Amino acid sequence: MRLIGLMSGTSFDAVDAVAVDVTAAAATGAGSSGDLRVGIRGHLTVDIPADLQSRLAAALPPNPASAADLCLLDTRMGQTFAAAASAALSGLCDGTADAVVCSGQTIYHWVDGRDCLGTLQIGEPTWIAEATGLPVISNLRSRDVAAGGQGAPLVSLVDAMLLGDRPGVAAVNIGGIANITVPALRLAYDIGPGNALIDAAVAAGSGGDQRMDRNGERADRGRVDPDLLSALRAEPYYAAAPPKTTGKELFHAGYLDRFERPAAIDDLIATLTRLTAVTIADAVRRHQVSELVVSGGGLRNPTLMAMLRAELDGVAIRPIDDLGVPNAAKEAVAFAILGFLSWHGLAGVDPAYTGAKRATVLGSITPGRGPLRLPPPMSATPQRLVLS
């Protein structure tokens, strides 16, 4: 299949789009499930309009949002995803693809204690189907939640296919929320705030003119406040056992109001950057990781990466690009692969990673302009991802 994968993360600044050719190679023997061969044709980024970013921020917890707000956001995000899919179809696929995979923009992730009770992704898929004429596989998280899982991190199955099960190897994605996958332990979970609190502090300190600490410049200028860092590390979420997930429902701008903060905004940003590095390092040490593959927006923050390397002296830290997957395309590629599995009737999640009662086929399918014709289900999920 030729698939277009779309991804908009918790920073909601842009939609990443990727075009991939995915082929399930034949099994080589009894009990073998074969390989999944993936060729990345290219990727592009479509900015989310500034006014839509502001509306999304205003609707996120702890802010209230009306039904009218959610309808507008669902529609506008659907149109933004449609624009990204159309650009990928024409610019990366020569106008020909089989389907689009879009997880949607997470607007609320309902966690109560250790249980995920629901999750809401917006970005109405019919806008994508209408703009491209292609079927759309969407809403990937909800089925895992219905089966008792956390609905995240969904990229864990693809991480495991890419990394293999060698002891000591793990993947960390540093987006708005940071998550880890340790395939040899069949373990995956959200670590903590990633870029979420850093971005919130930058936005507050700039009056909304800036949304991120570009290149880690402000953290580099600031000084870490050890008392504040100690208070932040006492957050109970970090000590909770996996599987577990979190989001801006916990780590939002108002989260920082409970702490005594330094007068200099750059010192606050430096401290929050150190918090992200320390919480990731704690998880890496806890699981005796010796090789760490990093992806996400945090990889583009040299100050954060320097702090992480200082914390993890002796651990080999590699960018996801070293494995043949461009960092900017990684999660869009992962969701495209999950869409391929759903299209062929295969589970897109390992219950050990999310805590679900069973493995489930993920997502809903919106037909394109033509009849919807699904292939016969495949018999087994491929275990290895091979980039071609």
Looking at the structure of the chain, the number of domains it has is 2
Q: At what angle do helices 67-92 and 50-59 cross, to 10 degrees?
A: 140
For residue 30, count CB atoms less than 10 angstroms from its CB and return exposed for 0-12, middle for 13-18, buried for 19 or more.
exposed
Same domain, 289 and 306: yes
Mean pLDDT is lowest, of 143-157, 208-222, 297-311, for 208-222
If asked whether residues 192 and 235 sit together in one domain, one would say: yes
Instruction: Read off the tokens for 221.
Output: 């200028």
HSE on the CB side for 164, CA within 13 Å? Answer: 7
Residue 117 has pLDDT above 80, yes or no: yes
- Per-residue pLDDT tens for 308-360? 999 999 999 999 999 999 999 999 999 999 999 999 999 999 999 999 999 99
pLDDT at position 27: 52
Contact present, 369 and 133 (Cβ < 8 Å): yes
Mean pLDDT of the chain: 94
Report the percent of the chain where pLDDT is more than 90: 90
Same-domain status, 175 and 318:
yes
Q: Are residues 316 and 256 in the same domain?
A: yes
If pLDDT is split at 50, 70 and 90, which confidence band does 211 have?
A: confident
| pLDDT tens string 35-50 | 999 999 999 999 999 9
pLDDT of residue 205: 87
The percent of residues in the chain predicted with pLDDT above 70, rounded, is: 98
Is the pLDDT confidence value at 284 over 90?
yes
What is the longest distance spanned by two Cα atoms in the chain? 65
Kindly state the average pLDDT of the residues 197-213: 89
Structure confidence at residue 235 (pLDDT): 97
CATH code of the domain covering residue 187: 3.30.420.40
Which of 307, 323, 339 is a domain's end point? 323
Considering 298, 323, 348, which residue would you say is the last residue of a domain?
323
Q: How confident is the model at residue 379 (pLDDT cuts 50, 70, 90)?
A: confident
99 φ, ψ to 5°?
-170, 165
The pLDDT value recorded for residue 190 is 97
- pLDDT confidence of 196, banded at 50, 70, 90? very high
Range of the domain at 46: 2-152+330-387
Chain centre distance of CA 343:
21
pLDDT at res. 339: 98
Residue 5 pLDDT: 98
**C-alpha R_g of the chain:** 20
Say whether both 112 and 141 belong to one domain: yes
Q: Are residues 191 and 284 in the same domain?
A: yes
pLDDT, mean of residues 148-162 = 96
Regarding whether 84 and 123 lie in a shared domain, the answer is yes
Q: Are 37 and 52 in contact (CB under 8 A)?
A: no
Q: Do 219 and 137 reside in the same domain of the chain?
A: no
77 shares its domain with 204? no
Where residue 33 falls among pLDDT bands split at 50, 70, 90? low
Same domain, 85 and 180: no
Which of 323, 345, 375 is the endpoint of a domain? 323
**Binning pLDDT at 50, 70 and 90, where does residue 279 land?**
very high
> What is residue 113's predicted lDDT score, i.e. its pLDDT?
87
Residues 314 and 347: beta-carbon distance below 8 Å: no
Is 277 found in the same domain as 198? yes
Asked if 142 and 62 sit in the same domain, the reply is yes
